[in-house]
Chain A
Amino acid sequence: MCKHTVIELSVRNHPGVMSHICGLFARRAYNVEGIACMPVNGGGTSKIWLLVDADRRLDQMIKQVDKLQDVLDVERYDGGHEVFTKMSEFVQ
């Protein structure tokens, strides 16, 4: 089994953002295992967390995500992220 990692994105909040981000992964057949999204700053921006495989294409994926016009910031949590620990309780 592949090790997972979490990417945390700050993005401009509008209806097309998700499609841009998910499209990037889908086109490269790069599976997104988990996804969470919440508005911040009164809805002007959002935070998105992606739970993804930590395979050797990850660096390139992060660069591609960072290149998207709507992505303001990218952080990587190789040790996982609480968001998904909590979410996993719902699918136990």
Chain B
Amino acid sequence: MKMTGAEIIINLLERQGIETIAGIPGGANLPLYDALGRSGIRHILTRHEQGAGFIAQGIARVSGRPAVFFATSGPGATNTLTAIADAKLDSIPIICITGQVPLSMIGTDAFQEVDTYGLSVPITKYNFLVRSAEDLLDIIPAAFRIAASGRPGPVVIDVPKDVQTAEVEFDEWPELGVREPGTELIPNQVKRAAAMINRAEKPILYLGGGVIQSGSADFARELAEKGGIPAAMTLMGLGIMPSGHPLNIGMLGMHAARYTNMALEECDLLVAVGVRFDDRATGKVPEFCPKAKIVHMDIDPSELDKIKTANASVTGDVADSLRALLPLVEEKARTEWKAGIQALREAHPMIVPEADDPASPYGVILKAAELAGRDAVVCTDVGQHQMRTAQVYPFSAPRSWLTSGGLGTMGFGMPAALGASLAAPDRPVLCFTGDGSIMMNIQDLATAMEYDIPIKIILTNNNALGLVRQQQDLFYGKRYTASEYSRSVDFLKIAEGFGIKTHDLGTSDDPARTLAEALAEPGPSLIHVPVGVEEAVYPMVPPGAANSEMIGGEKHV
């Protein structure tokens, strides 16, 4: 066979099963676009490369498989960086293919030359600067293998223009790049973990994104049920235990319900699975689960003992670890412990203000959940609206909750929702956003309109950077520097200008009905919900404080 580098890339992507690629063309990746135009892959032309990156993330988070996006050299490449860094912190397998100036011009400050390789070193799992078209036959499958194997993560492939146009003769296509099986478990590690669980009187499961990545939510639930072990989840782990499950004690950490953090104070064993002891989850580390021994299971050895030294650790894919652990865990009711937690839950429940008002900050989340049904994919931006959604949305399945956990990137929500909808066109997709966050990628409303991607954007508008303002309220003497907007924009007109259908719950006499109509209509819609700037998200653990020092959210105040 004889093909150009660009044709090799596109062919290999098709062979990998890639159906949709978001991106923006430019001088340095035109050969790639030319080959793309002659392929069966659907291209989504975004209005900013960061949007393309978050679309790829949306696809990858929902499907569990690597997704690809394109950008040109220079500004195209620098615009991708936030979405790539975001994928690194949340371990999302995306592959960014950038154009680069021709090999002979690298290092000359050529037009739109930037050191994409150097810029992407600290924010990727791995990166390539391709030196010959022939190398693509190894590099493209390797990128898929690396992105998907072990702890997943982003990969950048920087392809100089002359590498895209160079012709190569080759005999056969390389093997596909697929996820490698996890390393063998060490049986003694599993036995030791099981023995600790069996001995514990007050164990708690602490479940995170790794459980979702490894597709082992069912095993985690079985472990909880067999051992009578209550389970708390991280922000990234929401959806592992269905809401309403008696052993589900909700999200832990900075915005957890009081009873959840209080239960963790009491536990004598913390069984940490696919988690990394992030400070937003643990609070002040030395005071996290002060009475507990720790069992830590993770695929990434560098996470074990990184923040907290475990009494027993199991290295390996947590799906393998949980599968091996289950038969060794004794069936126990742990009635007393569960009753203790139930008492905490009743005394210190999650307080949801105005839950019944569909035009209130929490109420709109609950109403939208009820209307969208159990099959919905839920995306958020970053801020109070995100924390509220995490606190109260009744999640029922893994891979249905897309939020920027590690990097906390405003602007994530809407394009990620576009990706989710492209990957799962039959599922309703909700995007909870704020007036600050949506502005960070508002340009891609045009993409939603152009491709008629039916995302439902629920914008709670407090005309403020609410979560920042809340910190100033609590910890900076109510000095609201730079967190309130002095004037406001008209989001309804903006969305209309983008050709998006709009609804305003603020002026509707029947907000529940308006919301229902918006969710039922075809195509993308924006639902505007004016909310008070004073409405804070409680409880809240002050940054740096122990999780026992929660502010607000008490039952009787």
Q: Give A contacts to B, CB under 8 Å.
A: 15-16, 19-20, 23, 27, 59-60, 63-64, 66-67, 69
Q: Contacts of A27 on B, CB cut-off 8 Å? A: 122
Residue of B nearest to A24 (CB): B122
19 more contacts with CB within 8 A, not counting A19-B118, A20-B121, A69-B126, are A15-B129, A16-B121, A16-B127, A19-B121, A23-B121, A23-B122, A27-B122, A59-B305, A60-B302, A60-B306, A63-B301, A63-B302, A64-B302, A66-B301, A66-B302, A67-B300, A67-B302, A69-B125, A69-B146
Q: Contacts of B127 on A, CB cut-off 8 Å? A: 16
| B395 at interface by CB-CB < 8 Å | no
26 contacts between A and B (CB under 8 A): A15-B129, A16-B117, A16-B121, A16-B127, A16-B129, A19-B118, A19-B121, A20-B121, A23-B121, A23-B122, A27-B122, A59-B305, A60-B302, A60-B305, A60-B306, A63-B301, A63-B302, A64-B302, A66-B301, A66-B302, A67-B300, A67-B301, A67-B302, A69-B125, A69-B126, A69-B146
Residue of B nearest to A57 (CB): B306
Residue of B nearest to A15 (CB): B129
Q: Contacts of B305 on A, CB cut-off 8 Å? A: 59-60
Size of the B side of the interface (Cβ < 8 Å), in residues, is: 14
Residue of B nearest to A61 (CB): B302
User: B281-320: which have CB < 8 Å to A?
Assistant: 300-302, 305-306
Q: Measured between alpha carbons, how far is A59 from B303 in the docked complex, in Å?
A: 11
CB distance from B406 to the nearest CB of A (A): 16
Residue of A nearest to B126 (CB): A69
Q: Interface readout for B487-524 with A: 1 if CB under 8 Å, 0 if not?
A: 00000000000000000000000000000000000000
Q: Measured between alpha carbons, how far is A19 from B305 in the docked complex, in Å?
A: 26
Q: Contacts of B302 on A, CB cut-off 8 Å? A: 60, 63-64, 66-67
Q: Measured between alpha carbons, how far is A15 from B127 in the docked complex, in Å?
A: 12
Q: Contacts of A19 on B, CB cut-off 8 Å? A: 118, 121
Q: Measured between alpha carbons, how far is A57 from B447 in the docked complex, in Å?
A: 46
Q: Contacts of A69 on B, CB cut-off 8 Å? A: 125-126, 146
Q: Measured between alpha carbons, how far is A15 from B305 in the docked complex, in Å?
A: 32
Q: Measured between alpha carbons, how far is A64 from B126 in the docked complex, in Å?
A: 13
CB distance from B183 to the nearest CB of A (A): 12
User: B121-155: which have CB < 8 Å to A?
Assistant: 121-122, 125-127, 129, 146
Residue of A nearest to B117 (CB): A16
Residue of A nearest to B303 (CB): A63
Q: Measured between alpha carbons, how far is A59 from B304 in the docked complex, in Å?
A: 11
Q: Measured between alpha carbons, how far is A88 from B210 in the docked complex, in Å?
A: 46
CB distance from B348 to the nearest CB of A (A): 36
Q: Measured between alpha carbons, how far is A69 from B300 in the docked complex, in Å?
A: 13
Q: Contacts of A67 on B, CB cut-off 8 Å? A: 300-302
Q: Measured between alpha carbons, how far is A15 from B117 in the docked complex, in Å?
A: 11
Most buried by A among B118, B122, B305: B122
CB distance from A16 to the nearest CB of B (A): 6
Q: Measured between alpha carbons, how far is A92 from B306 in the docked complex, in Å?
A: 38
CB distance from B92 to the nearest CB of A (A): 17
Residue of B nearest to A59 (CB): B305
Most buried by B among A64, A66, A69: A69
Q: Measured between alpha carbons, how far is A66 from B118 in the docked complex, in Å?
A: 20
Residue of B nearest to A22 (CB): B121
Q: Contacts of B126 on A, CB cut-off 8 Å? A: 69
Q: Measured between alpha carbons, how far is A20 from B306 in the docked complex, in Å?
A: 20
CB distance from A88 to the nearest CB of B (A): 30
Q: Measured between alpha carbons, how far is A16 from B302 in the docked complex, in Å?
A: 22
Q: Measured between alpha carbons, how far is A71 from B116 in the docked complex, in Å?
A: 22
Q: Measured between alpha carbons, how far is A63 from B150 in the docked complex, in Å?
A: 14
CB distance from A66 to the nearest CB of B (A): 7
Q: Measured between alpha carbons, how far is A60 from B301 in the docked complex, in Å?
A: 9
Q: Contacts of A66 on B, CB cut-off 8 Å? A: 301-302
Q: Contacts of A23 on B, CB cut-off 8 Å? A: 121-122
CB distance from A7 to the nearest CB of B (A): 15
Q: Measured between alpha carbons, how far is A16 from B127 in the docked complex, in Å?
A: 9
CB distance from B118 to the nearest CB of A (A): 7
Residue of A nearest to B304 (CB): A63
Residue of B nearest to A20 (CB): B121
Residue of B nearest to A19 (CB): B121
Q: Measured between alpha carbons, how far is A27 from B122 in the docked complex, in Å?
A: 8
